[in-house]
Chain A
């Protein structure tokens, strides 16, 4: 005999439906238009080519570097903006459209609603980053091949031995498409997830989109000072009690966004060990669960 499913929270199917609805809702808001801007920025980054410099190992390197820097920088900006603004819109829009009442009138646990909403947003960020990543890798592949050709021709003209040319090509290839960039994109994604979950918590505390957006950006910027605040708290030499307390407050309340700045090192060509990626995923998971849990505590009894 078919029995109705018990109304237990964290039902994957239910969360999936809400997440997909949220994703569709956001896509209809034409957020993907920014991909056009990204493409323009990516193409513009190809123009940063300084004049002939008669050093094969420097030939065209600034172009590869600017493609990496501008692409990942733009991805960071867009993902953070989407993470904050789209989250700030989600619940107020559901209230405005009266969708929220329809959903909550059904046997949908409020936790599932929150997880689904955030899930849809995370899916949107993931899709956006995936598309931007594909664009970046495509442009970088083409451009790296061009740079390698120019470098080789230049080195042969000067008369470099084959092993020197091979070493130069190896170093240049490090700035081309590679797994390191995928790690950087993953770090961009994880940072966006943290800021989106923080924005979700803010939007639960306030029903104003503007307040959530502004506060979300403040949280993001202060989050980048978190390491400094923590140092003020831990390294008490020459620091007053009041300053230590302020440091503690900042370090406790705001998420640490500076941890994700490992992206800078990846762009510089540094290899990130798998343990670091795992640590970042762990930290992100902690924030996600904590923000969701606190959001649910407030949201579960909230009246609309």
Chain B
């Protein structure tokens, strides 16, 4: 009788194993569908992180290994070794594809840091510099695109991607920025400033000013949206749709005081060297408002002068 016990035990164990087989298969499929479990690692990643780390990564420590991969990437960032950085950031996102931080960090390193390094620091001939800069901006964009595809419900990545697409120093693509921001808003989780960003992107992309103005007015009804850029956009759209006889009066009606109008319109005008927002009537308004305060366009305090300086700096690549 005694010898039967191990056999019964083995039979129970195997029966239990067979019983849980379809159940666990269903649970795994369900968890993967919910995005709670990552798909199996790609072979290339296995090779990259080495056999030991791979075993660890498969043993419930994927995000831990991803952290170390990102730290490796940071090491390469410090030494401006951009190709190595790209490799490690790819490893980090493969290990933790739902880690939006890694996608953002990787894209930021490539599109901003690497691209700027090639533009400003590299010893390459001018044409090669420009080509490399463009290549790294494109790499950053592709990184964001992959991140967005891996995190469909996330509003941050499309928003950050749109910020990159809008950047005047990084080969802007306004239509793509509008699409990205629409995607961010469509998640239903985006905070109000992302809705505003979408309007700004549409304004840059040349959407009908009358339509834009109606939308901006509806946004300005809410107190939290009465931010300087939206007020300035409202001013220029009003100017475009119905050119006023007295721009200062228009500015006063929108901004509340001439002093505030000059400050907001001035900042908008200077920042527009990079921001590329519509600005019809802005310069006229500034000239009138500055004239009333006795500031000449050549005065170092004048926003007209400050814009010139900003433009020169941008041309010089600072």
Chain A residues with a Cβ under 8 A of chain B: 48, 50-51, 55, 57-58, 61-62, 65-66, 68-70, 72-73, 76-77, 161-164, 166-167, 170-171, 191, 220-221, 224-228, 230, 233-234, 248, 251-253, 256-265, 267-270, 272-273, 276, 279, 283, 286, 290, 293-294, 297-298, 300-301
Q: Is the beta-carbon distance between A298 and B36 smaller than 8 angstroms?
A: no
Question: Considering the chains assembled together, what is the distance between the CA atoms of A286 and B16 in angstroms?
Answer: 9
Residue ID in chain B nearest A256 by CB atoms: B24
Question: Considering the chains assembled together, what is the distance between the CA atoms of A265 and B105 in angstroms?
Answer: 18
B104 close to chain A: CB less than 8 A: yes
Please encode chain B, from 12 to 47, with 1 for each CB lying within 8 Å of some chain A CB and 0 for all others: 111011101100110110110011111010000000
Question: Considering the chains assembled together, what is the distance between the CA atoms of A161 and B228 in angstroms?
Answer: 9
Q: Is the beta-carbon distance between A276 and B36 smaller than 8 angstroms?
A: yes
Cross-chain contact of B21 among A58, A251, A265 (Cβ < 8 A): A251
Q: Is the beta-carbon distance between A220 and B28 smaller than 8 angstroms?
A: no
Chain B residues with a Cβ under 8 A of chain A: 2, 5-6, 8-9, 12-14, 16-18, 20-21, 24-25, 27-28, 30-31, 34-38, 40, 55, 58-64, 66-67, 70-71, 74, 77-78, 96, 98-101, 104-105, 108, 156, 191-194, 224, 227
Q: Is the beta-carbon distance between A262 and B9 smaller than 8 angstroms?
A: no
Question: Considering the chains assembled together, what is the distance between the CA atoms of A268 and B97 in angstroms?
Answer: 9
Which residues from chain B contact A298 at a C-beta distance below 8 Å?
5-6, 9
Q: Is the beta-carbon distance between B59 and A62 smaller than 8 angstroms?
A: no
Q: Is the interface of A mostly helix, strand, loop or mixed?
A: helix
Question: Considering the chains assembled together, what is the distance between the CA atoms of A197 and B104 in angstroms?
Answer: 41
Q: Is the interface of B mostly helix, strand, loop or mixed?
A: helix
Cross-chain contact of A270 among B6, B8, B36 (Cβ < 8 A): B36
Residue ID in chain B nearest A188 by CB atoms: B60
Task: Knowing A227-B28, A301-B5, say if A261 contacts B60 (CB, 8 Å).
Answer: yes
Question: Considering the chains assembled together, what is the distance between the CA atoms of A68 and B67 in angstroms?
Answer: 10
* B8, B55, B58, B70 interface centre (most CB from chain A within 10 Å): B58
Q: Is the beta-carbon distance between A69 and B67 smaller than 8 angstroms?
A: yes
Which residues from chain A contact B70 at a C-beta distance below 8 Å?
62
Contact sample, A vs B, 29 pairs, CB 8 Å cutoff = A48-B67, A57-B104, A62-B74, A69-B63, A76-B60, A77-B61, A161-B224, A163-B224, A164-B191, A220-B59, A224-B59, A227-B28, A252-B17, A252-B21, A253-B13, A258-B28, A258-B60, A264-B60, A264-B63, A265-B35, A269-B100, A270-B35, A283-B27, A286-B16, A290-B16, A293-B12, A294-B9, A297-B6, A298-B5
